[in-house]
Structure 1
Amino acid sequence: MTVNTRRAPLRSARLALAVAALLCAVGGALAKPPPETFVNPLLPSGPDPWVIRHDGFYYYMNTLGNRIALWKTRDLAKLDQVKPVTVWRARKSGPGSISLWAPELHFIDGKWYLYFSAAERGHDDDAHRHTLVLEHPAGDPTQGAWTEKGIVNTNRTGIDSTVFRWRGQLYFVYSAYVGDHSDLILARMKNPWTLTGPQVDIARPTFTWEMQGERQILEAPEFLPGTHGRKVFLTYSASACWSDDYALGLLTADAGADLADASSWSKSPHPVFAKSPAHDVYATGHNGFFTDPDGRHWIIYHANTGAGVGCGPKRSPRMQPFGWHADGTPDFGTPVAAGRRLHAPARADAKPAPQPKNQ
């Protein structure tokens, strides 16, 4: 048998090249940086936190009392390195001059809108708390002037307003003062600053866990669409914010129901996100929701480290991912302990991660 000795060196060279390429690939994979991580709390102080992702940025805000500021970042894990930009200050007198609480930033019909609760200097009480609305043209909401659109025409005074669009209709929900308790009131909107039609009381305190801290309170409603288009949800914060038992409740409606009909909503009998003494986390509440470019669902909320801290500036903003129960309701899990390291949300400018073919 004759052996072709000319081919042997060629095969050896090809094999060497293949091995080298494999080693480079393995080396590159090993050199790839691990996923970015973060720990809670995100900031030392930050009651009533809110996040929205838009055009490659996250915008964060929280209650500051005398002004409204925005943190703009591509990376929420580095929120503590961002310098906030003040976009609005309390007036010297009249509506909006004191106790600026619970700001929310929304992008609606090509413009930015800011919703916040405020009272009047000299009348810092429930009878003078309203929702005010600011408008900003498309673009960077941290730059340029905001225009005041006025006070939302609610039938009652109240706080903690939010807006959401569902099936083409814009809705407004807030916590209204009704006698000695606070209820959730929902209405349709004619435009981002004007309510139209009935203002419907969709939920009032009925469970003991909604009456802790010697107050009967439902506040801070937040809309959450379901994952399969069959259900929609409103979370809310129950009990007094100074109570360690401040917790999240859940309202559920069919996606095709009339959301402005109180009978469309059912209330979960137990909190869906509450304190964790084992993790030294108390007074979990006043949350928001956002989704990162990888499609992961996140809840942002404030809480206290330790019991008996109350409803002051020590409330700090925290975030964690959440999933869904088999019945389609959200599964927020348990508040994670301060200092526990978690994988961070994807950067706001990241390309969406590829999804499995069976999804």
Structure 2
Amino acid sequence: MHAEGRSGSNIRRTAARIAAAFALLALSTPPAVARDPQAADATFTNPILQSGPDPWVIAHDGIYYYTHTLGNRIALWRTADITNLADAEHRVVWTPPASGPNAHSIWAPELHRIDGKWYLYYSATAAGFKDDAHRAIFVLENDMANPLEGEWVDRGRVNTARAGIDGTVFERDGTWYFAYSPYIGKVSGLAIARMANPWTLTGPERVIARPDKPWEDRGGRKILEGPQFLESATGRLFMSYSAGACWSDDYALGLLAAKRGGDLLDPATWTKHPQPVLRSGNGVFATGHNGFFTSPDRREQWIVYHANPRAGMGCTARRAPHMQRIEWTAAGEPRIGPPAPMTQRLRKPSGTRP
């Protein structure tokens, strides 16, 4: 009994010393990263707004400008931190006329900087119509340094060969190109033409892609829409597009790759990726209608796209903007998907000011 009592006493003294050591360690250990306000400020979660169909982002002189479909007007957001749109300066910069060819269904606005001026490209439907035959792309011009200021001048309809939607522009080797989604019979495809100026096309307009994959036929309609140009650091050119109907949970992004040195108006220059590069997953549905932009320090390329947080939500204003960084494979191909889970904290674009 005497020997057993000494052993128990030693065990109690050892346990006391261990407890004291852990208490001292707890006092000297810094709090978890989640409590670090600087670490929290360096990350974000999707979506970056609770509503924002057809989102568009452009970075210029360290400032982000953002817009999305509102249906009956165009608004712009201005911020140094694209992940903090909820607190960004924003205002309505244009409302459509009560009648005429661009009176209704103001969709998919895009802001571009061309030769020192700002241009807003948007889709619209003529007053009194809801059919595809009366949809077209129009342009607004602003010569102010800040596009939220000044007057937007209506430059009218882009002279596309067909009715269509979702116009975008891109400069390549000193030539500006215009791409959009024309209606071709009962389907829509992707077409491209050269530009004489920001509101006028010149020369031939060529259809470079049509819906010919099973995943491009979703929601009861074969659709290619929302073309966007993407250039790699090595100069390779790609074009993303949205496939299928926006009301389908299977709405997805496809990708075309241009052959180096090829004529961009030649369909043979473009090769279609066999599978979507971004599709529903990780609790994110109906991923589509994207834009590309660079980080403030121009070291990273990012994608913004809209998505639904649940299945079966359709093509409504509940679609919200998501963004994530684009990675590049060793072969020089963009790795865009899968969508980041909405619970995942992502690092903000490099060079974002606090």
Report TM bin, short chain: 0.7 to 0.9
Unaligned runs of 5+ in 1: 1-30, 351-359
Q: Aligned-pair distance for 1:83?
A: 4.1
Number of the residue aligned with 1:270: 275
- Of 185, 192, 196, which aligns to 1:186? 192
Mapped partners of 1:331, 1:281: distance in 2: 18
Q: 2:262 maps to which residue?
A: 257
Distance in 2 (alpha carbons) for counterparts of 1:349 and 1:150: 37
Among 234, 237, 240, which residue is 1:228 paired with?
234
Displacement after TM superposition at 1:38 (Å)? 1.0
Paired residue for 2:301? 297
Which residue number corresponds to residue 44 of structure 1?
50
- Indicate how the Cα distance of structure 1 residues 136 and 348 shifts in structure 2: closer, same or farther if over 3 A, else same: farther
Matches of residues 203-242 of structure 1 in structure 2 within 5 Å? 203-229=209-235, 231-242=236-247
Task: Give the conservation status (yes or no) of the 8 Å contact 1:241–1:310.
Answer: yes
2:129 paired with 1:123: yes
Query: What is aligned with 1:84?
Result: 90
Counterpart-to-counterpart distance in 2, 1:255 and 1:192: 25
Q: 1:80 to 1:282 in 2, by over 3 A?
A: same
SS at match of 1:244: coil
Q: Which runs of 4+ in 1 moved over 4 A?
A: 347-350
Q: Percent identity?
A: 54
Is the contact between residue 187 and residue 197 of structure 1 (CA under 8 Å) also seen in structure 2? Answer: yes
Local SS of the residue matching 1:58:
strand
In 2, distance between residues paired with 1:54 and 1:241? 30
Report the counterpart of residue 291 of structure 2 in structure 1: 288
Task: Check the 8 A contact 2:279/2:337 in 1, yes or no.
Answer: no
Q: Matched residue of 1:95: which SS?
A: coil
Q: Give me the whole-angstrom Cα distance separating, in 2, the residues matched to 1:322 and 1:226.
A: 10
Gaps of 5+ in 2: 1-35
Change (3 A) 1:257 1:308: same
Number of aligned positions between the proteins: 317
**Per-residue deviation at 1:349?**
6.0
Output the amino acid matched with 1:51. Answer: V
> 1:84 aligns to what SS in structure 2?
strand
Displacement of 1:326 in angstroms is 1.6
For residue 254 of structure 1, report the CA deviation from its aligned partner: 2.3
Alignment of 1:143-222 (within 5 A): 143-222=149-228
Aligned partner of 1:73 in structure 2 is 79
Is the contact made by 2:255 and 2:272 (CA closer than 8 Å) also made in structure 1? yes
Structure 2 residue aligned with 1:57: 63
Q: How many angstroms does 1:33 deviate by?
A: 3.1
Q: Distance in 2 between matches of 1:113 and 1:269?
A: 34
Shift of 1:297: 1.3
2-structure distance, mates of 1:262, 1:196: 18
User: Alpha carbons of 1:32 and 1:316: their partners in 2 closer, same or farther (altered >3 Å)?
Assistant: closer
Deviates most, 33-42 or 280-289:
33-42
CA RMSD of aligned residues (A): 1.4
CA distance in 2, matches of 1:247, 1:329: 18
C-alpha displacement at 1:51, in angstroms?
0.3
The reply to whether residue 315 of structure 1 matches residue 323 of structure 2 is: no
Residues 53, 348 of structure 1: 8 Å contact kept: no
Q: Which amino acid in structure 2 is aligned with residue 184 of structure 1?
A: L
Distance 2:129 2:38 in 1: 54
Aligned to 1:356: none
CA contact (8 A) 2:59 2:296 kept: no
Task: Name the aligned partner's letter for residue 258 of structure 1.
Answer: D
Aligned-pair distance for 1:257? 1.2
TM-score, normalization by structure 2:
0.87
When the two structures are superposed, what TM-score results if normalisation uses the length of structure 1? 0.86
Q: Could you tell me how far 1:32 is from its partner in structure 2?
A: 9.7
Q: Can you list the C-alpha shifts for 1:1-39, whole angstroms capped at 9, x where unaligned? A: xxxxxxxxxxxxxxxxxxxxxxxxxxxxxx993361111
| Structure 2 residue corresponding to 1:334, chosen from 334, 338, 347 | 338
